[in-house]
Amino acid sequence: MEAKVTAHARFTIADIDKRVYGSFLEHLGRAVYTGIYEPGHPTADEHGMRRDVIDLVRELDTPICRYPGGNFVSAYNWEDGIGPKEDRPTRLDLAWRTSESNQVGIHEFAEWAKSANTEMMLAVNLGSRGLDDARNFVEYVNHPGGSYWSDLRKKNGRADPWDVKVWCLGNEMDGPWQVGHKSAHEYGHLANETAKALRAFDDKLQLIVCGSSSAEMPTYPQWEATVLEETYEQVDFISLHMYFMNYEKNTREYLALPEKLDRYIGTVSGVIDYVKAKKRAKHDVKISFDEWNVWYHERKQDEKRVKEWDWPHAPVLLEDIYNFEDVLQVGCILNTFIRRSDVVGIACIAQLVNVIAPIMTEPGGASWKQTIYYPFQFASRYGRGTALQLDVDCPSYNADIAANVSYLDVAGVHDGDAGTVTFFAVNRHESEAITIDLALERFGEAKSVEHTLIKHDDLEAVNSRDNPDNVKPERKEGANLAGGKITVTVPPYSYSMIRVT
Ligand code: AHR
């Protein structure tokens, strides 16, 4: 099969906000305890943080990390996680029916984020709590000193404010499962009043209001319209979440799901425009896609176990083991964010360690990269710059979820400073290779091309502690560059990065 792709330096979509390669850590399962934090571990630093995990996160190069939840945040008291560790209370976490020891709180997370070279993105509890706790938390985190909460932070060992810019106003407040779930009007009003209070403290904060937990929610997309009508003037982003599943083991349908993601983004973008026009507003609101990933491998078993267990601390939970098929899916999802970088300003893979995550750990032992680590790393490292409006001519297929799904899913990024053009390409065809004829126009002289491939003959192949390199990228020879044109052949069901310098 053949595909023709044309990239022109002046046909651009938008400058990509690097925060679309963000991540997420929730107090859930083993994400925090034995994930990032394990004081007795051989690699633990002076704060009890696992250095082996910090190294993997640094290598992943994720610029921002959302914390501390997720569903967890909706019944979380942030004050439980400050002060001497021995005085911190153990609480029952209602979201996951576990015990929370509070040995990690804002101070520990901030130290970890600094070591991991990632910016903090914090969520406030608008489920069981409200405006007052949110403003106190922001004062504790961001005020230099001379007030009750900022002086308490100093007393607790941190002199300087952390100056956190991005704040989430609750989590998935449209979901009946959420502690303190609200109607769109109730939530919109509370979020607006909270945003006003936070802005009175600092009008430079970037605030994210909750959109839908999925495009399947019965309230979607009216939720977005109502919430934005209440909050538009006070917020910078509206959040969306989506998890990808393949219970039917139908790869064609599964790999067409990013078309649905694209429609979801397009619809919410339309709602944003509608409210903006109605309000005669001047500023833009963007989408913060702050939870996305494949999540189905362990999901049903986990839902059952959570109902039955007796409040364990840091149990194995949501530890999906990703396969090679998921590499293709994650590649297509990230391509979608690049192509929608005009409206998606933040996106967070959910999550980062152990819990539906690219990084896995063994308590007291090894850590390793899941299969999906690689497409995320490539996009995050090399997908920075300007998103290109590519012209793509390739055969397509009809799926139930969408018609005309191109067998070649491709996104292109131009980094003018580095002088590179990078393409991320997924071949969604089961049995046919695609020979891509890639024309580069007006980028200046291209000197070399490199092709990195992720391919495995078994879609269900996984990485594990004992076989961590089962699925991994390899450099390929064979991409040809001549007269501003690249010819490269990508095998069936494969992920490729093609990088021109
Ligand atoms: O990421 C796992 C959970 O998925 C989060 O806690 C919640 O926000 C979402 O439903």
Collapsing DSSP to helix, strand or coil, 61 comes out as coil
CA distance 134 to 168: 10
The reply to whether 377 and 418 lie within a common domain is no
The reply to whether 53 and 133 lie within a common domain is yes
Query: Which of 19, 34, 18, 20 lies closest to 355, judged by CA?
Result: 34
Is residue 264 situated within a structural domain? no
What is the pLDDT at residue 319? 98
Collapsing DSSP to helix, strand or coil, 457 comes out as coil
Does ligand 1 lie within 6 Å of residue 291's CB atom? yes
What is the pLDDT at residue 261? 98
> What is the tens place of the pLDDT at every residue in 448-481?
999 999 999 999 999 999 999 999 999 999 899 9
CA distance 264 to 5: 25
CATH classification at residue 457: 2.60.40.1180
Is residue 64 situated within a structural domain? yes
Q: Which residues are catalytically annotated?
A: 172, 291
Per-residue pLDDT band at 159 (split at 50, 70, 90) = very high
Which structural domain range is residue 396 located in? 2-9+388-500
> What is the tens place of the pLDDT at every residue in 168-193?
999 999 999 999 999 999 999 999 99
pTM here is 0.98
Atom 5 in ligand 1: residue holding the nearest Cα: 70
CATH classification at residue 72: 3.20.20.80
Report helix angle 257-279 to 324-339, nearest 10: 30
In DSSP terms, 313 is beta-bridged to: 99
Is residue 439 situated within a structural domain? yes
> What is the tens place of the pLDDT at every residue in 29-77?
999 999 999 999 999 999 999 999 999 999 999 999 999 999 999 999 9
Ligand 1 centroid distance, CA of 481 (Å):
45
DSSP for 346-375 reads EEEEE-SBSSS-SEEE-TTS-EEE-TTHHH
Atom 7 in ligand 1: residue holding the nearest Cα: 70
Ligand 1 centroid distance, CA of 42 (Å):
31
Q: Are 201 and 165 in contact (CB under 8 A)?
A: no
CA 356 to ligand 1: nearest atom: 1
Ligand 1 centroid distance, CA of 386 (Å):
31
The reply to whether 375 and 394 lie within a common domain is no
Share of the chain above pLDDT 70, in %: 100
CA 415-419-424 angle, to 5 degrees, is 50
Collapsing DSSP to helix, strand or coil, 414 comes out as strand
Query: Which of 456, 144, 462, 101 lies closest to 313, judged by CA?
Result: 101
CA 96 to ligand 1: nearest atom: 6
Give the 3-state DSSP-derived string for 72-102, with helices as H, strands as E and coil as C. HHHHCCHHHHCCCHHHCCCEEECCCCEEECC
User: What is the chain's mean pLDDT, rounded?
Assistant: 98
Please report which helix (H) or strand (E) contains residue 57, including its range.
helix 51-60
Is residue 412 situated within a structural domain? yes
Ligand 1 centroid distance, CA of 368 (Å):
23
> What is the tens place of the pLDDT at every residue in 262-300?
999 999 999 999 999 999 999 999 999 999 999 999 999
Does ligand 1 lie within 6 Å of residue 170's CB atom? no
Is residue 288 situated within a structural domain? yes
Contact residues for 277 (Cβ-Cβ < 8 A; gap 6+): none
Query: Which of 307, 361, 333 lies closest to 426, judged by CA?
Result: 333
The reply to whether 393 and 365 lie within a common domain is no
The reply to whether 243 and 106 lie within a common domain is yes
Q: Is the pLDDT of residue 223 over 90?
A: yes
Please report which helix (H) or strand (E) contains residue 201, including its range.
helix 184-201
Atom 2 in ligand 1: residue holding the nearest Cα: 70
Is residue 261 situated within a structural domain? no
Ligand 1 centroid distance, CA of 392 (Å):
35
ipTM of the complex: 0.99
- Assigned token pair, 146: 């001379």
The reply to whether 304 and 418 lie within a common domain is no
Collapsing DSSP to helix, strand or coil, 435 comes out as strand
The reply to whether 86 and 105 lie within a common domain is yes
Per-residue pLDDT band at 484 (split at 50, 70, 90) = confident
Does ligand 1 lie within 6 Å of residue 93's CB atom? no
Q: How many domains does the chain have?
A: 2
Does ligand 1 lie within 6 Å of residue 351's CB atom? yes
Is residue 478 situated within a structural domain? yes
Among 172, 302, 317, 318, say which to mutate for ligand 1: greatest number of ligand atoms within 8 Å of CB: 172
The reply to whether 403 and 377 lie within a common domain is no
The reply to whether 44 and 69 lie within a common domain is yes
Positions of E strands within 373-493: 386-388, 391-393, 396-397, 405-406, 408-415, 420-427, 434-441, 449-454, 474-476, 480-482, 485-490
Collapsing DSSP to helix, strand or coil, 28 comes out as coil
Q: Are 252 and 430 in contact (CB under 8 A)?
A: yes
Atom 1 in ligand 1: residue holding the nearest Cα: 350
Number of other CB atoms surrounding residue 274 within 10 Å: 14
Per-residue pLDDT band at 316 (split at 50, 70, 90) = very high
Does ligand 1 lie within 6 Å of residue 350's CB atom? yes
Is residue 363 situated within a structural domain? yes
Question: How buried is residue 452: exposed, middle or buried, by Cβ count under 10 Å (0-12/13-18/19+)?
Answer: middle
The reply to whether 95 and 172 lie within a common domain is yes
The reply to whether 373 and 424 lie within a common domain is no
The reply to whether 83 and 104 lie within a common domain is yes
Does ligand 1 lie within 6 Å of residue 38's CB atom? no
